[in-house]
Amino acid sequence: MSITQTAAATASGSTVIHQPLGLLAELTHRCPLACPYCSNPLELDGRARELDTATWVRVFQQAAAIGVLQVHLSGGEPASRRDLVELAGAAHDAGLYTNLITSAIGLDSKRLVALREAGLDHVQLSIQDIESEQADRIAGYAGAHIRKLAFARQVVELGFALTINTVIHRANIGNVSALVAMSADLGAGRLEVAHAQYHGWALQNRAALMPTKDQVFLAMDEVERLREEYADRLVIDLVVSDYYASRPKPCMGGWARRSLNVTPTGRVLPCHAAETIPGLEFWSVRDHDLADIWLRSPAFQAFRGTDWMREPCRSCELREIDFGGCRCQALAIAGDAREADPACSLSPHHARMHELAEQAQADPAQRGQPVGYNYRGRAPA
Partner 1 sequence: MAEAAGASVDSRPRLAPGVRLHFDKTRNAWMLLAPERVIEMEGPANEILRRCDGMRSAARIVDELSVLYGVDRATIEGDVNAMLTELSTKRLIVR
Instruction: Tell me which of 56, 160, 255, 375 binds partner 1, using CB under 8 A.
Output: 160
Alpha carbon distance 162, 183 (integer Å): 9
Q: How far is the CB of 257 from partner 1 (least distance, A)?
A: 13
Alpha-carbon distance values, 357 to 249, 297, 349, 354, 372 (Å): 17, 35, 13, 5, 18
Task: Tell me how far, at minimum, the Cβ of 4 lies from partner 1, in Å.
Answer: 8
Please state the closest distance from residue 353 (CB atom) to partner 1, in A.
27
Q: Does 34 bind partner 1 (CB under 8 A)?
A: no
Helices (H) and strands (E) in the chain, counts: 15, 9
What's the Cα-to-Cα distance from 13 to each of 17, 129, 308, 327, 377, rounded to whole Å?
Answer: 11, 48, 12, 21, 43
Contact present, 12 and 306 (Cβ < 8 Å): no
Candidate list 121, 222, 229, 363; residue touching partner 1; CB under 8 A: 121
Q: What is the largest CA-CA distance in the chain?
A: 60
Interface residue with partner 1 among 16, 54, 235, 321 (CB under 8 A) is: 235
Phi, psi of 69 (to 5 degrees): -110, -30
Q: How far is CA 61 from CA 70, 91, 286, in A?
A: 12, 7, 14
d(CA 126, CA 288): 33
- Binders of partner 1 among residues 35 to 74 (CB under 8 A) are 64-67, 69-70
Cβ count within 10 A of residue 362: 12
Q: In the window 250-279, what residues touch partner 1 (CB under 8 A)? A: none
* Contacts for 294 with CB less than 8 Å, ≥ 6 apart: 3, 17, 20, 66, 256, 260, 300
**Among 166-174, 228-236, 270-278, 329-337, the segment contacting partner 1 (CB under 8 A):** 228-236
Options 25-33, 218-226, 229-237, 261-269: segment touching partner 1 (CB under 8 A): 229-237
Query: With contacts defined by CB under 8 A, how many residues of the chain interact with partner 1?
Result: 28
Residue 284 is given by DSSP the state B
- 95 counts as binding partner 1 under rule CB under 8 A: yes
Q: Which of 375, 34, 39, 6 is nearest to 197 (CA)?
A: 39
Output 103 or 276, the one with its CB closest to partner 1: 103
Nearer to partner 1, 41 or 250 (CB): 250
C-beta closer to partner 1: residue 5 or 246? 5
- Comparing CB distances to partner 1, the nearer of 3 and 346 is 3
Least distance in Å: CB of 221 to partner 1?
A: 23
Q: Does 237 bind partner 1 (CB under 8 A)?
A: yes
Chain residues in the site for partner 1 (CB under 8 A) = 2-4, 19, 21-22, 64-67, 69-70, 95, 97, 99, 121-122, 124, 159-161, 163, 189-190, 231-232, 235, 237
